[in-house]
Amino acid sequence: MNPSHSVSPHRLRVEDLTVVPPRHIGLWVATALVLALLAMLFWAVGTNAAFDWPAVGKYLFHRSILRGVLNTLLLTVTIMVFATIIGTVMAIMRLSPSRILRTFANAYIWFFRGAPALIQLIFWFNLAIIMPQITLSLPGIGTLFSARTNDVMTPFLTAVVALSLHEAGYMAEIIRAGITSVPAGQTEAASTLGMARGRILRRIVLPQAMRFIVPPTGNEAINLMKATSLVSVIAVDDLLYSAQTIYARTFETIPLLIVVAFWYLAMVTIMSIGQHFLELHFNRSDSGGGGGGFRAALRQAFSLSRGRRA
């Protein structure tokens, strides 16, 4: 039987046609399951005495924990700055016409990116075994500087040196990819206007490379911040080490690990938000809206999120 015969064409009007949304039974079942699992998880965490939530509250803003947070931030920022500088130099060397410079940069990246961070860290910590004295002397002038390696290489400096060299290997690749993503025509156009090489790199190429450099660099910074917890093995009092020092004494291991996780998550969240605004800033030529820096990016961020929800 043809269904179109059962309805008179005179009574069915085009304007009355409506769409019935399909029912997603599977979706409902899955949602219910997830909610049940979450409830069970919260129940288990809330009622298990080992989590000791009052202890978490007690240590969340503990002095040595806050000092650990500060040290972790300081390490992350310092290492990131040095890694970016060394990485930029390595990236430019990789793009150099000189084969020797290219090979050197490749070897650097291969070694420092390839060897595990923890091993590099312990290696630099034991530098004094290879080189008990650090001496800088120039022929004809004599010794300018000499000191015992263990006096110079404090745990903090060791951590900065080891992790900067390691991180620079990653940054070099990110920056190189960013630079090569800018079309050669940009450089050509700038040089026909009489701009010199260094100025072209600074004014034309790098600003445009930033939109390709910022997102992976944000990821690197987040990874690095978490990776700085490795320095607890060489007794730098970062966030993790501060917590370890406390629970070694009080045996409140789980609450303190929760405190540490809380602070790492808090810092990662803030960094992600910062990264979001940086990306908006460097993508502003794409998304329209007149020129004008950070404030415009902010304004745009809010109009964008509103637009998505509508």
Partner 1 sequence: MTTDREQDFHVPENTMVYARGVRKSFGKVEVLKGVDLKVPTGSVACIIGPSGSGKSTFLRCINHLEDISGGLLLVEDKFVGYDLVDGRLHVVRPAELCRRRADIGMVFQNFNLFGHMTALENLMEAPIQVRGQSRAEARERGMALLERVGLAHKADAWPRQLSGGQQQRVAIARALAMDPKLLLFDEPTSALDPELVGEVLAVMRDLAQSGITMIVVTHEIGFAREVGDQLIFMDGGVVEEAGDPREMLRDARSERTRAFLSHVL
Q: How far is the CB of 287 from partner 1 (least distance, A)?
A: 9
Q: Which residue, 17 or 193, has its beta carbon nearer to partner 1?
A: 193
Q: How far is the CB of 77 from partner 1 (least distance, A)?
A: 26
CB of 224 to partner 1, least distance (A): 27
Where along the sequence are the contacts to partner 1 (CB under 8 A)? 183, 185-186, 188-197, 199, 203-204, 207-208, 282, 284-286, 288, 290-291
Task: Identify which of 79, 76, 59 has the alpha carbon closest to the alpha carbon of residue 262.
Answer: 59
89-97, long-range: CB < 8 A, 24+ apart: 90/168, 90/169, 90/171, 90/172, 90/176, 91/171, 91/172, 91/173, 91/175, 91/176, 91/179, 92/179, 92/201, 94/172, 94/176, 95/176, 95/179, 95/180
What is the residue whose two structure tokens read 């650090």?
134
Minimum distance of partner 1 from residue 295's CB (angstroms): 16
Question: Between residues 24 and 203, which has the closer beta carbon with respect to partner 1?
Answer: 203
Q: Which is nearer to partner 1, 151 or 188 (CB)?
A: 188
- How far is residue 234 CA from its own chain's centroid? 23
Distance (Å) of CA 89 to CA 101, 102, 153, 169, 207: 11, 11, 24, 11, 16
Of residues 46 and 194, the one with the C-beta less far from partner 1: 194
Residue 79 makes CB contacts below 8 A (sequence gap 6+) with 159, 160, 163, 164, 167, 224, 228
CB of 217 to partner 1, least distance (A): 17
Nearer to partner 1, 8 or 192 (CB): 192
CB of 190 to partner 1, least distance (A): 8
Min dist. Cβ of residue 296 to partner 1 (A): 11
Q: Which is nearer to partner 1, 21 or 194 (CB)?
A: 194
- Distance of closest approach, residue 182 Cβ to partner 1, in angstroms: 9
Q: 227 near 163, Cβ under 8 Å?
A: yes
- Choose between 24 and 199: whose C-beta lies nearer to partner 1: 199
Nearer to partner 1, 14 or 193 (CB): 193
